[in-house]
Structure 1
């Protein structure tokens, strides 16, 4: 079994009236190669006639955003011409690549009626060879994502990679496996993950025991590279965000919305954005 290197607690980092906890980076962990960033928005309940999510038009280059909509919805729009509203249980996978501008806001229906909202956004690095690929966007509703039920009622929502013999809905550029899991209290599951791969393990709700330690909601578990299985037991009804990938072992230089390999590439990203290379935003 994998052993635990450290448990990291997400830090409170509200954005306007949006409840937000940042699990990565924090003062105790910078990134888990190639996983760069995780914001946990909510859970909270929006009143009717609300302003919705505050993420208006902004640029990205050099990585991918994977957004898990557990409650509520997100209206995505970008300068690549993509636009969709993804509802609870769905995901958005955006490859920023060479650069684009996008917005992530609530639908008009959600702003009018309100309701519960809980969203996870994970940033996944791109290897140097793929940082300037053409941008792409994939938006999938809940019923478009394979759901695998394991012993004890554990449900694995297979977003990418292979989970219990089932291929995920998205085929990413790099070999990155991502899923979110629902575990009823008392359930147990053992999942294979090769020792060389970095594990991303975040407890969204509830509490679990993994590798002999208890991990609670809003905790990120960092593992050593010393085993090829994860044994998880749900101490209460739990939701996990789980992923794994081979580390890129490349320099990471990030500044604001750009993640590249050198300072010069960051400076070029800003010049390209300012010159309009990321496209023109049409409100």
Structure 2
């Protein structure tokens, strides 16, 4: 048996300057999908030559993790812990904000000069109270660093967690998630039929990036977040056209969530403390 579709939530347009942005989470009818907090889908769009690039200059975070999927284009990362990288198409940036840092997500100079296609997904994942103040960390993975599991008419690019293929080959993603999170992108060709892991008791995150697919006979709508039943340990997806899915699962934390801007904690007092610590310079600074 496989999980079934309970509800689908459309991404809301919320463009940031000239950056096309859709946000399915949070949205009308769904505040979070514990432990998943937030998803921005930027693009797809094509930037002209001599563009201004992405607008995400230095800003702070505390209490959660960001996972950024670069589907097209390039993205540079710089943070107050001294981490720096430029990740290209097919790559992923995984940042643990933990106790707090400042980072910037901008377009490299080459992209601003030459332009080109851009499409990026950024997912925020909550941390439990016991890990809110863990040391910040960052991992940048290029596309070649991410294992690709080839299935009949499908490909799975595994970022974290475990995946057992249809031939019973077991693969583990290169990121060792602090909370046992499983994340992957799934690329389907017409006629594909694929069973994805969904441990009982875990919440599944399924977002339709593009294309046409279905779960248990229910057509999935493009640019929608899909809420599934939780009574079975797999999700069977089928494609009637090429489709790309952001897929994952995680154990719900079941803790109170207090969030404001770039901080996600458990209480309002912890949010106030985060602001005070940031203003006092305790998150560090990005060196120009």
Q: TM-score by structure 2 length?
A: 0.97
Residue pairs, 1:31-110, within 5 angstroms: 31-110=32-111
Q: Which residue of 1 aligns with 2:273?
A: 268
Distance in 2 between the 1:49 and 1:99 partners?
34
Q: Is this contact kept in 1: 2:78–2:286, CA < 8 A? A: no
Q: What is the CA–CA distance in structure 2 between the aligned matches of 1:70 and 1:191, rounded to whole Å?
A: 21
Asked if 1:250 corresponds to 2:255, the answer is: yes
Unaligned ranges ≥5, structure 2: 165-169
Answering whether residue 149 of structure 2 is matched by residue 144 of structure 1, we say no
Within 5 Å, give how 1:202-221 maps onto structure 2.
Answer: 202-221=207-226
Q: Aligned pairs, how many?
A: 282
Question: Which whole-Å CA distance do the structure 2 matches of 1:57 and 1:214 have between them?
Answer: 40
2-side partners of 1:202 and 1:132: how far apart? 29
Match of 1:281 in 2: 286
The CA distance in 1 between the partners of 2:72 and 2:173, in whole Å, is: 21
Q: CA deviation at 1:211?
A: 2.2
State the 1:7 CA deviation.
0.5
Residue of structure 2 aligned with 1:231, choices 212, 233, 236:
236
* Residue 121 (structure 1) aligns with: 122
Give secondary structure in 1 for the equivalent of 2:16. coil
Further displaced range: 190-199 or 153-162 = 190-199
Q: Specify the alignment match of 1:241 in structure 2.
A: 246
1-side partners of 2:258 and 2:32: how far apart?
12
Shift of residue 185 of structure 1?
Answer: 1.2
Partner of 1:158: 158
For residue 228 of structure 1, report the CA deviation from its aligned partner.
1.4
Mapped to 2, the partners of 1:124 and 1:212 lie a distance apart of 29
What is the TM-score of this pair, normalised by structure 1? 0.98
Deviations 1:218-261 (A, max 9, x none): 01101121111111001210000000011011111110000000
Question: What CA RMSD, in Å, does the superposition of the two structures yield over aligned residues?
Answer: 0.8
- Distance in structure 2 (CA, Å) of the matches to 1:232 and 1:10: 20
Superposed displacement of residue 34, structure 1: 0.2
Q: Which runs of 5+ in 1 are unaligned?
A: none
What is the CA-CA distance between 1:57 and the residue it aligns to?
Answer: 0.4
Q: Is the 8 A contact 2:67 2:94 kept in 1?
A: yes
Which among 182, 186, 198 is matched to residue 203 of structure 2?
Answer: 198
Tell me the CA shift for residue 88 of structure 1. 0.1
C-alpha deviation, 1:153, in angstroms: 2.5
1:72-121 CA-partner distances (Å, limit 9, x unpaired): 01000000000000000000000000000000000001000000000000
CA distance in 2, matches of 1:201, 1:172: 18
Name the SS for the 2:33 alignment partner. coil
Bigger Cα displacement from structure 2, 23-32 vs 208-217: 208-217
2:185 corresponds to 1:185? no
Deviation beyond 6 Å, 4+ runs, structure 1? none
In structure 2, distance between residues paired with 1:207 and 1:28: 23
